[in-house]
Chain A
């Protein structure tokens, strides 16, 4: 590690010293008396109040958010003339001047116009107070969470994102209650690190871990059976959608430069609801619904076996069999949610407090979850120069994650048959009651997130902001296999003598994220036409991960379900990982006539995961925007193209190495006689540095005909110094792998988002919105390394996470018997003469990342009370391994083995025993393209006359459906699943459940 660099530190220190001595006498800026600004914000065309509009007193941190009727109140505004500005997503900002008198109330009402391009909206960018949309040179997707939630009844943050932001790929792993999806923005770019975006809540970096959950027992006595695919929970599920005001998605290096060394994979900013000054407003929500496995009979193929008496193939109907037996495998789960919130405030203090209880049942008895979350936001504005915002969130969640993927009813039925396995009613290993009664994969979460943001504007031209926050998650995950009762014990004997006695693996985990973020911006009007905004800032992020793992096997009796109660204990483990990032940035923006902006920025970071021989990383950024529609020459076409913003950005950001991957370690390894000893551990790379993503994007945002909004972006990204996990030559004395910066990947694509107000009448409106985005990724260079992998591999010159297998080249088929002989496979990626499949190499079959994703939503508003909404989304161009079918054929129960005439020669060749043993999976790597009717809803706003007597000021009822219909060429159950959260493989995975919920929203 090298010492300090005076050359770098000097400007930082000078800035801080300048701040220390420089601020003017704040007391001199304070007016001795203050008044209040009140008003209402409405839609100019419908005169309806607009909820969640932002009102700001220009030149001060004072502001408010409108209530459901569009009303707001800002107290403590210093006496004098002020400009009040109103903004809301989807509307043109408006401003008006008011003269505030001490102790008086002044009214400022706004009627906002539909805006195709929200040029004056404020976007959270990392600088104090955010930046105006018109000045931002990169694409940003903003989701109005309140509106989206009301229409969709989305159960979590990820479903709010799904289909609503161009370029954001949400992939659910399994449909089990409690599971969470993976999220990628503009596809994959890292080969060995996470591709999940960073998550911020109210400016505080928070835990966004996916694929968490209980590991199985490691105690002697064989593999854990019930814990396969148990690590499916996501920390994104801890954020209550009811608390979210809006979500902003920052998509890549071009946009995320000032977020630094972890932001190359994108950033999701969640901004929670805040109170508005005015009367106290209570809200209540009651949601009841049901969810089920949609059309299982139509989605689970039948298995076949031959009746030895007749010689005829017999189909097996496990679902019908169990239904007739009175023990249906799947049932309809109940889902319910109750939310109560209160917001309001007066003068210098506003608040928002809410709590939600949810109770979800999955489709199997061991899959359910109960959660409570509470959220409290407090805003204090002691003067018009200072604002203190406090956000706090608590969630307690007990998720019983169920079991699939491994020993589960779905797996047991997918390869079973009553004629083959009569002892287990046809289920291959165990009947459904074994996993459903014995396996309980639990994750208990206690999580607290708190942040304090101080915004201070000591001068009209200078504002600065400090954010400090902490996010603490306590996790207790347990994979329990209970002591089996006498009737189930015989089914488990095949797995070992002690398996029926149960086992448990327990992971205890405490994760803490600390955030410190300071930034300041000086805004100066250099000339009447030229403005300047200079920003500097520094961020500190510290992550601590404490893990313990305990395990035990063989419970002495029923009812014992703890590690300490087990007879045979496994090797315990404990780890503490600490990672720190410190970064500073400077940004300079020049604006000309408020319609041409050029921005340059640079960020310098250090991260404790960098190697000892690598100190600092520097990321530059430059962007430009131009709003030609505000130029004088535009008047001739302004009735056609009402608004046009052109933008371009180039920027870099990074992805830090995994914690500890630069360290060279030894591990405790005593000899068998107890003599202390050590052996080699991690062969860390002291030269390890972050991956560096460089991205160029160009695009435009346009409003046409006062009703159509278009947002188009082309992006191209290169990730250099990609970190690869390269095998070590054992002769060097280390086993395993070493991370090295030798790879390079590329991504490029286009994103188009559109919103059309198709019809706007007094009693009827129809809005169509949608998006389509493409992504093509590739591995440009692996630095000579050959990465391990079987079906999913990363190979130079091919897409990231490609699906590879041996491909049938030719086979002979008897026209009468359909017998297959003379099977040859494609020799390998380089071609050549066909060879026996046992000698062939795998060839590229397809990519696992969708090449095209998109959605179309329609919203019909009938009269003042009825809203109909529907969302269809699609993904295409990718493949998935249908392991269900592969297993089915390997077990000799697939249809093709009994009705070969229905199948192609290549398919039949692939399911011959010699092909299966040679690893031919080609027919089972299938097109996973799909179109889904994702959301449908009907909302009815109850007439006020019905509500008045009950003291209710507004009420609505929404009936919403989710995951209703899927159109797909895929032969499996659901093309969206992933095995163990990341592998494009469908093996006995629960599909996304069909859901209907009814929601009653009340305002008091």
Chain B
């Protein structure tokens, strides 16, 4: 029998050998609770990645609708909180909460959430272009996924272009809205090509609406006034793309009342939870009791709750989104038709414009618009009023205000409930987190 000393004589050098001979250069990190990017960015997970990009956009979209509603004139702040004031007061500092991401509700983060959504879609788009059809799992069309990823990348870019004074892509230089819209146009073109090839009509029409919206912005980009002479070629191209969208088309951002923060309808979270002092936002008075020809317009039905928020502002509750799980339209036929109508009246085609207005009125159950005796300019105003009402809290109002250089309401310098005065922002500035950490953009 071996003695303990003999055993140790054997054991100790063995342990020493094991310790000293192990390959100490090859220690792999183990974190089973996390999913490594390299394990997911593979062809087998292409559909998962595209769905993730869509989810990222939906999260960003709800935050954009809310934040843009506050910066524009659809919503007003009703909570006593300085960070919230900045949205509605149009005084967002470069370090403001608007720079945040998808983990936000009370102060909706739009720049990071939109940037992440854009990058998620662009990243998987690039991967899909590098992969082959043969690498795709059974039943998964690479072409269809390319179309979907490109379309959602385009929508993130459109919102960055409409809502931000400048933006950046892939840690690149500071881009003007025109440059951002041009990027968006490229994505929509790619989406239209791919979706057409794949026979994916939903994505095809989503991209058509997106392309029309982008071109409408570009048409006015060179003449940023409420003018009647936008770039005619771009305007025509916008109308042409929109005209292809069939009736009854809609793609929504889905939400969940029981899901995570990123899955909630933030518009409802702001305006419909805890009516009273717990509200964050209320509908602006200009949308209260909107009537056409004496008839209340159901498209902007607002409940005057009789209560006031923490800052004393009356609570007007929107009814478009009834709960935290209410879906919101990203693109639909009405938007496409209004682009057609705006292009038509700008080129003197009253008939098309009025027909579209009246089709929308008929759908809403309100009296028809009679253009008799109206000038083309008055019809144009009506088209834009239709956009305000029809597309209420669907992400368009801020972009229109900026595209058409509308006067800000309330005017600059008006005292703000809660302190300070209304500022002059028509768009969110490129935030400090981008400026200070992007080597291609000077720090602030």
Contacts and interface: CB of A to CB of B under 8 A. Distances in A.
B20 A15 contact: yes
A678 B29 contact: no
A661 to B, nearest CB: 10
Given A27-B5, A677-B48, A669 B56 contact: yes
A20 B14 contact: yes
B34 A665 contact: yes
Contact of B438 (A604, A678, A729, A734): A729
A871 interface: no
A732 B9 contact: no
A153 B6 CA distance: 46
Interface residues of B, number: 79
A177 B167 CA distance: 52
Interface stretch (B238-246, B253-261, B378-386): B253-261
A645 to B, nearest CB: 33
B112 A540 contact: no
Contact of B15 (A466, A574, A676): A466
A17 B17 contact: yes
Interface stretch (A1-9, A233-241, A440-448, A956-964): A1-9
A889 interface: no
A975 interface: no
A520 B35 contact: no
Contacts of B38: 664
Given A730-B99, A730-B115, A606 B27 contact: yes
Contacts of B255: 672
A934 B260 CA distance: 50
B109 to A, nearest CB: 8
B54 A671 contact: yes
Contacts of A917: 82, 419
12 contacts: A4-B25, A9-B20, A16-B17, A385-B5, A386-B5, A667-B34, A672-B259, A679-B120, A727-B437, A735-B101, A785-B437, A786-B436
A454 B49 CA distance: 54
A19 interface: yes
A669 B40 contact: no
A355 B206 CA distance: 73
Contacts of B40: 666, 678
B21 A731 contact: no
A663 B55 contact: no
B31 interface: yes
Interface stretch (A363-371, A396-404, A576-584): A576-584
Contacts of B1: none
Interface string B4-35: 11101100111111011111111111111111
Given A383-B5, A580-B27, A731-B171, A13 B115 contact: no
B33 A576 contact: yes
Contact of B118 (A1, A675, A729, A733): A733
A909 B337 CA distance: 60
Contacts, number: 254
A785 B30 CA distance: 29
A540 B35 contact: no
Interface of A: 1-5, 8-9, 12-13, 15-17, 19-20, 23, 26-27, 30, 382-383, 385-386, 454, 456, 458, 464, 466, 516, 518, 520, 538-540, 571, 574-578, 580, 582-584, 604-610, 615-616, 659-660, 662-673, 675-682, 726-736, 785-786, 917
Contact of A733 (B6, B120, B262): B120
Nearest to B6: A26
B34 A682 contact: yes
Nearest to A735: B101
Contacts of B167: 731
Given A663-B29, A663-B31, 7 more contacts: A3-B25, A538-B20, A606-B25, A663-B36, A665-B37, A670-B55, A671-B51
Contacts of B26: 1-4, 606
A679 B56 contact: yes
Of the candidates A385, A574, A729, the one having the most CB atoms from chain B within 10 angstroms of its own CB is: A729
A13 B16 CA distance: 9
Contacts of A518: 12, 15-16, 19-20
B329 interface: no
A732 B16 contact: no
B55 A583 contact: no
Given A466-B12, A733-B119, A672 B254 contact: yes
A668 B254 CA distance: 17
A13 B52 contact: no
B436 A671 contact: no
B298 interface: no
A729 B36 CA distance: 21
A496 to B, nearest CB: 8
A681 B34 contact: yes
B91 to A, nearest CB: 11
B186 interface: no
B55 A729 contact: no
A4 B14 contact: no
Contact of A19 (B12, B29, B48, B437): B12
A81 B216 CA distance: 102
